[in-house]
A and B are shown apart, each in its own frame.
Chain A
Amino acid sequence: MIVAIENGRRQLGPGVVFYCERLEVPEGAHIALWGPSGCGKSTLLNILSGLLRADSGAVIVDGMDLQTLNEGQLDRFRGEHLGFVFQTFNLLAPFTALQNVMLGMRFSDTIPAKEWKPRATALLERVGLKHRLHSKPNTMSVGEQQRVAIARALANRQKLIVADEPTGSLDPKTSKTVMDLLLEMCQEQKVTLLLVTHDRAIADRLPMQFDCSGLVKEETA
């Protein structure tokens, strides 16, 4: 299993708790974490990516027990093991498409510095943005920005991509194109995909689904 959480629990507020009894994801699987807004799917994703800590329980990702890592180790873990694709793309405005992808490699030691540029260029060419290498995000369409984000998520040869509503800001046509590309790239790179969505139709495109309904609940005394 590349991802496993067991009895993961986190207090979200007074009387509100996140609790996930068990989730196991085999290496190379593509799984949709779906459910209505506020059900706890993003909290689950944040705990699995080390952005939030569980108060208790076991969280194992790519063989690492995230509960035992300190902040610095978690930062390094994210850089080396995880690729993120966000709903709002989250490209860094001062940098070009090429630089945004290179930044994905800058903060980990996975790829030697001399390979940053050729690898970033190859990835952007692969997602169809050969002509946009030196464009800033604010000059690109939303579809192009999300393709840059996908290239960045794969920059460090990560084994796991976490995508939080990756098509949430896109029109239906662009949404389909981006989803096709994401699935294709994950398939091609043999990467495990955890995709958070509230859209059942999108969830159904993935071979595995995990229903997040009820992960966040009122705590009973």
Chain B
Amino acid sequence: MSLWHIAWSYLWNRKLTTVLTIVSVALAVALISSVLTLREETRKRFEEEGQAFDLVVGAKGSPLQLVLSSVYFMDTPTGNIPYTEFEHLKNDAEYVKAAFPINMGDSYQGFRIIGTIPELFGHKWVSPVSGEERAPFQLAQGRYFETSFQAVLGALVARQTGLKPGDTFVSTHGFIAGLPEGLGGHSHANMPYTVVGIMKPSSSPYDRAIFCSLESVWQAHQHGPGEHHEEHGQEHAEENEGEHAHHHEGAAEEEEAAYQEWSARPESMVTAVLLQLQSPALRFQYREIIREQTSVMAAIPINEIATFYDQFLGTAKLILLAVGYLVVVISALSILIGLYLSILQRKRDMAIMRALGASSYEIFGSVLIEAFWVTVLGIAAGWLAGGLVSFGLGQYLAWRFGLAITAFGITNEHIAAFSAVALVGLLAGILPAWQAYHSDVAHDLADR
């Protein structure tokens, strides 16, 4: 029958008060824990994806907007740049190792349709966070696109829409999320896409993207919706009736010819170009070269994200942590008040224990242990609740931005925060413990 058991018995004897006190500590810890987890995990995931490309080149505007729209598919693009800029960048072998154009403009059920070149699917990089190779464009089913209006779906898109290889869908102009087919922007009803492949989940923004060829996007937007869609749509309608079969035979040659034709048009544009440089060390230098020698803008994704985190999310984190620690102080007060009232009610019990031979130190210790139990259980429950909150928000982040996070992690920041909470909890127990330590045994025993 240790002091731990005695302290626990007294806490158990007043279950409701104990549970409420633990809950108040847990709420504070959950808030702090979830803020730390979400901040750290999203930062890691953003940085991991931010390292996918050394530079992103697009129309002039906000560099952060360019990065968010082109790398994370989160914001509206800054505009379009001529396709010739892509060719110019691609051919700059002194600096550029690989260049991938992307074209945006349409969506399906809120998921962006990204026009690009098949070479993007072979792009890999080493994550600076995990040190592992990231290859997010691996197929789970089917194949990559080969001709216009063939689509490769991200894993989340396939899961949410239920589309599978062989299915067709019609895109909507614009990026209006969450609207059913046919609502929102005008639909390219006569130019349906055919699903040819589905990618494996990659916990990245690519999970929520639909990939197709550049010319698919060009064709869809080359003319006004009223005029072109109809005539082009007729072609597609006929194509559908013909079961696509004839289109796929010798498709590569036809497509190459179409690609050459479309890309040669002076009006052909792309939304952005994603660059892998010969070395990450060239990022700043090449950004300056682009700034000085071209009319387009280059941004370093990892830098923009780091700035975004420091300036915006850093402040938000500080505010949320301040609220969390304020709740810790309130919780500490509730521990103090709860224990103090309990000590007042138990003065006679303390006196009995002293009469039975317990020392003042043992009484002091048992009260402090009660504070310890409440605090530790509050921290454990809070960490669990924080994990559940992070898990819930993580599900939203995965759905909204394609960023999967680890909900139940423990970082050094968590350990520091939990230690601070434990210290505050123990400090809250000292006053009641001191009160118990200094009790007047004879008086408290006589107090009937």
Contacts and interface: CB of A to CB of B under 8 A. Distances in A.
Interface of A: 42, 46, 49, 51-52, 71-72, 75-76, 78-80, 84, 86-88, 90, 92-95, 99, 102-104, 106-108, 116, 152, 156
Contacts of A72: 359-361
Interface in B1-33: 1, 6, 9-10, 12-13
B98 interface: no
12 contacts: A49-B355, A51-B355, A75-B357, A78-B354, A78-B356, A90-B352, A90-B355, A92-B352, A93-B349, A103-B6, A103-B356, A107-B353
Among B9, B348, B445, residue most surrounded by chain A Cβ atoms (within 10 Å): B445
A99 B1 CA distance: 8
* Among all A-B residue pairs, the 7 with the closest Cβ atoms: A79-B357, A107-B357, A94-B13, A51-B442, A94-B9, A107-B358, A75-B359
Contact of B362 (A78, A84, A107): A107
B246 interface: no
Given A51-B442, A102-B1, A106-B1, A92 B359 contact: no
A76 B359 contact: yes
Contacts of B362: 107
Among A51, A78, A116, A152, residue most surrounded by chain B Cβ atoms (within 10 Å): A51
Interface residues of B, number: 24
Nearest to B11: A94
A179 B98 CA distance: 99
Interface in B268-324: none
A152 B357 CA distance: 12
Given A71-B360, A78-B357, 20 more contacts: A51-B445, A52-B442, A75-B357, A75-B358, A76-B359, A78-B354, A79-B357, A80-B357, A84-B355, A84-B356, A86-B445, A90-B352, A92-B353, A95-B9, A99-B1, A103-B1, A103-B353, A107-B353, A107-B357, A116-B1
Contacts of A88: 448
B245 interface: no
B10 A107 contact: no
B15 to A, nearest CB: 11
A42 B448 CA distance: 14
Nearest to A80: B357
B441 interface: yes
B233 to A, nearest CB: 80
B446 interface: yes
Contacts of B446: 42
A140 to B, nearest CB: 16
A78 B6 CA distance: 20
Contacts of A80: 357
Contacts of A108: 357
A97 B291 CA distance: 85
A104 B349 contact: no
Contact of B10 (A90, A94, A106): A94
Nearest to B358: A107
Contacts of A42: 446
A212 to B, nearest CB: 16
Contact of A90 (B358, B442, B445): B445
A86 B442 CA distance: 12
A107 B357 CA distance: 5
Interface in B339-354: 348-349, 352-354
Contacts of B442: 46, 51-52
A134 B165 CA distance: 68
Interface in B425-443: 441-442
Contacts of A46: 442
A211 B359 CA distance: 33
A106 B354 CA distance: 12
Nearest to B348: A90
B356 A107 contact: yes
A87 B352 CA distance: 13
B360 A75 contact: yes
B397 to A, nearest CB: 46
A195 B55 CA distance: 93
